[in-house]
Amino acid sequence: GWEADVRIDDGAGLVGRVDVLFPAARVVVEVDGYAYHARAAFQADRTKQNRLVAAGYTVLRFTWSDLTDRPDQVIRSIRRATTPTR
């Protein structure tokens, strides 16, 4: 139910590539690391996130520390976001 490194477009064209997409739930997971996020990349990520939200996606952001130190919490967050409410 998920795909990695997915290109997403909206009505204005390319939004960008996302780390992980759960297409059926319209949930995007992005992993942020300190090494990659210089000022320009930080700004580009916020612009991309705003366009994704405007296009109807839920965006979950996690740090590398979240993945390595708190994986159970990350999994719970993703499950909550991708599980339909009844």
pLDDT at 40: 77
Q: Where are the alpha helices (DSSP H) in the chain?
A: 39-54, 64-69, 71-82
Compute CA distances 51 → 54, 64, 71, whole Å.
Answer: 5, 23, 27
> What is the residue type of 45?
D
Residues 6 or more apart from 61 whose CB is under 8 A from it?
29, 30, 31, 32, 49
* pLDDT band with cut points at 50, 70 and 90 for residue 12: very high
Q: Which tens digits make up the pLDDT trace of 16-52?
A: 999 999 999 999 999 987 665 677 778 888 999 999 9
pTM, rounded to two decimals: 0.88
CB 29 within 8 A of CB 60: yes
